[in-house]
Structures are given as structure tokens and as C-alpha cells.
Chains A and B, each alone.
Chain A
């Protein structure tokens, strides 16, 4: 269970560029929730994910995940509990290292790294099997440098890396926004498969309303650093883009522009 309580985050405080990105945010996720997050530019979606993952500290409030207080842990220590996929396909993998080397790094998330082998033979077998589930043929290119892969392949690999060691929370920050529509669909499909298979608690930021409605069991809309709409259960299942626009036209102008 993820609990965000009374979160505040202001950038450039005390300057003309002051921006209150998160403004008294409260959010609780049950285990196994797959939550899609929408909201206009500057609504605080990415900031919220970055606060959870510890890219920067919160000004106020607490972040608790399954009873562990993450609020003051540094980013690399929180990584033990989190799987993350970023918007930029370049960001989640090391281009100059091989596919299997990247996976081996991910397989050691949350463990101390000593003088044992960087990759073991058993791991290679595991990676081959897991890569095969992506259906991209990467299992035959395990030693290829990741820099040679396409953006979609890199995102699929990042997704695999984020979920290789089952995370307590999966954070997807517009992870298909930089991909062409077909590749984006493929990566989203993979996302849904993996989340369903491992019953992962997931937060997925998206700019695409259709995706937000299609995926997950709960949808939240953010505005000005707060949750303004929270739809779950049956209501979420029957939700359409039209409903969303009609019911909550507060934000629709910007949402439409960015859809």
C-alpha cells in the first residue's frame, strides 16, 4: 500500500519563477491497484512520481510504501522497492553496455554489489527466457549494445528491467509518449501483461485519455498539484472519453490540446 500524505513541493521558492508543483497532495493506493494519471501540463504528475522515487525531496508530507517510510531515503535506496520507466527511452538503459549487462544491473536492484560475478550463467538463461516474452527477438542479441536498439525496444527492455525483480510499486512516467503509435501500443500491451501477471501496484502517467481509460482499475486526474478526480471500480470500467470531458471540463482545454 502506498500512502502519500500532505505532500508539498515548490520549485525556485522565493524567486519570480516560483512554482508550486505539488500542493497538499494526498493519495492512497491499495495493493494491486493499477492507477492511470492524467492532467494538463504542470499539473504535477511527473513531480509526484519524482517525489516518490526520490529524484528530489518533498518540502512537506510523508511517503510510505508498505509500512516503510520513504520520505527521507536517498534515491538509490528507494530503488529497492520501485521499478521505474521514464518518458525518454535513453534514460532507462545504459547505451554503451550490453542488453544482458543492463539486465544484470537490474537483477541486483536493492542488493549490495560486491566482488561476485557481474553476470552469472543462470542469469543469462533467465534473461533469455524473459527477453523472449517481449517478442522482439532480443533474446538472440543479448550481448549487443543497448545503444543499437530502437526507442521502442529500449522502452520494452527498460520495462523488463523495472519488473525483473518484482517491485512493490511500478512507476511509469509517460513511458510511451516518445514512441510512434504502433510501438506505443505494443509497449502498453506488454505493460498490461506484466502488471497483470505479477499483480504489480502501478502508477502510470499518460497524456492519452483513451489509454488512461483503457488501462488500469482506477483513474485520477491531477490539477495544480492535487488530485481533483478519482474514479475507480465499476465507474472506471464504464468510463468513456466523452464522460471524462463532459464531467470534468475544468481541465479539458489543456487536456485536448495535449491528447
Chain B
């Protein structure tokens, strides 16, 4: 029994690069989730659909002979539009954010099928010029996802760090932190929510565009449960790094690291022989427990908390 365990454990290092690569790609998606969940204080379920939209648009563009970078750009724009859809549902039509996301997600299922023409589309790494691929994960080439995606993430974090430091970016952060105060300071809260949802889903779709190249196909169910993976990455990143990473750029980095940790742990668990069908159950339960922790802390240990988090936007008496 122990020998079986040990021999399985020895296979882990060989699988690590793949797990880290997946973690990096999903890390971009998790940054998108961070923007809605942490900055805007909205749980946006659009991502389950927009991840696939990104993959579907990217792969179809590339199959038509489009340059891969241009295909990824167009996929990102498609992601922005999915965020716009949720944003309109939420602000203009007054639908609660979670429900707005679910509605978009459901409609994206049809849209994604229409984009691809069928449930999945494959792309051959030998015939097409891919930016990254699973095949190069252990090679010293730029197309190695470990190198390429890491570079992309550095650029993205720099871009987001700059954006959230601008007047517009600050007003989006304020919108999530305290909508009452934001309105009193002349900030268009509705518009900022839409912009935040768009940026978030743009990132998610971009991540989907990378993912479809990495795995060599796009599938209509590739985004199922994406929100849970994104939340897991955000929560793990915060749990592990929040004490040392205070700067905004480092917080975004911790989300990516959280995603990598998530995928490495999942990889180990699978190699240890866990039934892969149970993975989503396991992920959901882990995320549920981590989401419960702050609540339990405030309920049972409120006297011992070191840094009480102020409750925002309490209703005006």
C-alpha cells in the first residue's frame, strides 16, 4: 500500500510543469474574478460562459487563418461584450448581479455553440501557428506556456496596476468599496459596474483563448465551474500571501500564485488516485469552507480579531 503511494508520489514532479502552466493560464481568469469579486463586490457568474466564448472565438478565428495574437485580441473583445451584457442586465434592467450573470452564462451556451458550429473544435499544433501549447511545456522555447504566459501575466498586472491607479480606475475601486460615497462624490456607479464587468470578462475570455491553444481544442463545457476555480485561486492567494503582499500589483500576483497552488494540489490529488469525477465536488467544498471562514471568525471569534473589517454602506437610518 505504502509502496503504491510512494510510486505515485514519484510521478508528481513529471506532471508539475503542466499543472503550473494550467495554473498560470487560469490565473489570468482568476484576476478577472478578483476584479468583480473583490474590487466591485459582485459575484459574477458570467465567467463560466465567457471563458468558453474566448476559447471559441479564438479557435474559430485561427482556423480561418487569422494571426493568433489578433485572434486573442478579438476573443478578448468578445469577452468585453459578454461583460457588457451582464452589466446591462444588472444596471439598466435592475436584475440582481448573480442572476444577471446566470442569464448571460446561459445565453452564452447557445452563443458559444453557434460560434463553434458544434460542441467542440480542435486545432492542430503542427498545422497552425499557436502562441502556446501543452506540447512545449518542457522545452526551452518562447511557446512554452510557462515562459509565455508568465510574461503575459507580468504585462497584464502592470497594465491593471496602472489602470486602477488612474482617475477612472480609482472611481471603480470606490464604487465597490462604498457606492453611497461614490455617488455623493459624483461617480457614475452604474457605469463603473459595467466597465468593471467588461474588463473582468475580457480577461476571462483572454484566458480562455490561451487555454484553447494550450489544450489544442475549445469545448462548450470548458468553462463549467470556472467561477469556483477563480474564487478558489483568489481565496488561496489571499490566505497564503495577504500578510506579505499589500501592494495592489502583488495582490494580483497572489491571485495567480493561488491559481498555481490550486492546480498543483489538484494534480497531486489526482496522481494519488482520487477519482477525477469527484474533483468539482472537492473544489466546491474547499471554496465553501474558505468562504465561510471570515463569517465564522466574525461570529465566534469576533473578540479576537486583529484587524476588524469595517462594514460598508450600512443602510441609512
The one of A90, A109, A118, A147 in contact with B185, judged by C-beta atoms closer than 8 angstroms, is: A109
Asked if residues A113 and B309 are in contact (CB atoms below 8 Å), the reply is no
Asked if residues A105 and B187 are in contact (CB atoms below 8 Å), the reply is yes
Given contacts A87-B316, A95-B310, are A118 and B169 in contact (CB under 8 A)? Answer: yes
The A89-113 residues at the B interface (CB cut-off 8 A) are: 90-97, 101-102, 104-106, 108-111, 113
Asked if residues A77 and B186 are in contact (CB atoms below 8 Å), the reply is yes
**Is B314 close to A, CB under 8 A?**
yes
Least distance between A206 CB and chain B CB atoms (Å): 15
A96–B164 CA distance with the chains assembled, in angstroms: 14
A219–B4 CA distance with the chains assembled, in angstroms: 85
**Is A114 close to B, CB under 8 A?**
yes
Stretch at the interface among A78-86, A180-188, A210-218: A78-86
A53–B185 CA distance with the chains assembled, in angstroms: 11
- Measured between beta carbons, the chain A residues less than 8 angstroms from B174 are 94, 97, 105
Least distance between A174 CB and chain B CB atoms (Å): 9
| Per-position binary interface string of chain B over residues 141-167, scored 1 when its CB falls under 8 Å from any chain A CB and 0 otherwise | 000000000000000000000010111
Pull 29 A–B residue pairs with CB atoms less than 8 Å apart, ordered by A: A53-B184, A76-B189, A79-B185, A90-B312, A91-B178, A91-B181, A91-B316, A92-B181, A93-B181, A94-B178, A94-B181, A95-B312, A96-B312, A101-B170, A105-B187, A106-B185, A108-B186, A111-B186, A113-B168, A114-B168, A115-B166, A115-B167, A116-B167, A117-B166, A118-B170, A119-B170, A147-B310, A161-B185, A162-B184
Nearest-neighbor residue (CB-CB) of A92 within chain B: B181
The one of B168, B183, B185, B311 in contact with A115, judged by C-beta atoms closer than 8 angstroms, is: B168
A82–B316 CA distance with the chains assembled, in angstroms: 18
Interface of chain A, helix or strand or loop or mixed? Answer: loop
Least distance between B8 CB and chain A CB atoms (Å): 44
A96–B311 CA distance with the chains assembled, in angstroms: 10
**Is A3 close to B, CB under 8 A?**
no
Asked if residues A114 and B186 are in contact (CB atoms below 8 Å), the reply is no
Least distance between A201 CB and chain B CB atoms (Å): 17
Asked if residues A114 and B181 are in contact (CB atoms below 8 Å), the reply is no
| Per-position binary interface string of chain A over residues 175-217, scored 1 when its CB falls under 8 Å from any chain B CB and 0 otherwise | 0000000000000000000000000000000000000000000
| Per-position binary interface string of chain B over residues 167-179, scored 1 when its CB falls under 8 Å from any chain A CB and 0 otherwise | 1111101100110
Asked if residues B316 and A86 are in contact (CB atoms below 8 Å), the reply is yes
The A11-58 residues at the B interface (CB cut-off 8 A) are: 46, 53
Contacts A96-B177, A113-B171 aside, 5 further interface pairs with beta carbons under 8 A come to A86-B316, A105-B171, A114-B168, A118-B165, A161-B185
The one of A90, A105, A115 in contact with B310, judged by C-beta atoms closer than 8 angstroms, is: A90
Nearest-neighbor residue (CB-CB) of A104 within chain B: B170
**Is A88 close to B, CB under 8 A?**
yes
Asked if residues A79 and B167 are in contact (CB atoms below 8 Å), the reply is no
Asked if residues A86 and B180 are in contact (CB atoms below 8 Å), the reply is yes
**Is A251 close to B, CB under 8 A?**
no
A105–B184 CA distance with the chains assembled, in angstroms: 10
Given contacts A87-B317, A97-B173, are A113 and B187 in contact (CB under 8 A)? Answer: yes
Asked if residues B166 and A88 are in contact (CB atoms below 8 Å), the reply is no
Asked if residues B184 and A84 are in contact (CB atoms below 8 Å), the reply is yes
Given contacts A91-B180, A116-B166, A118-B167, are A109 and B186 in contact (CB under 8 A)? Answer: yes
| Per-position binary interface string of chain A over residues 122-150, scored 1 when its CB falls under 8 Å from any chain B CB and 0 otherwise | 00000000000000000000000001000
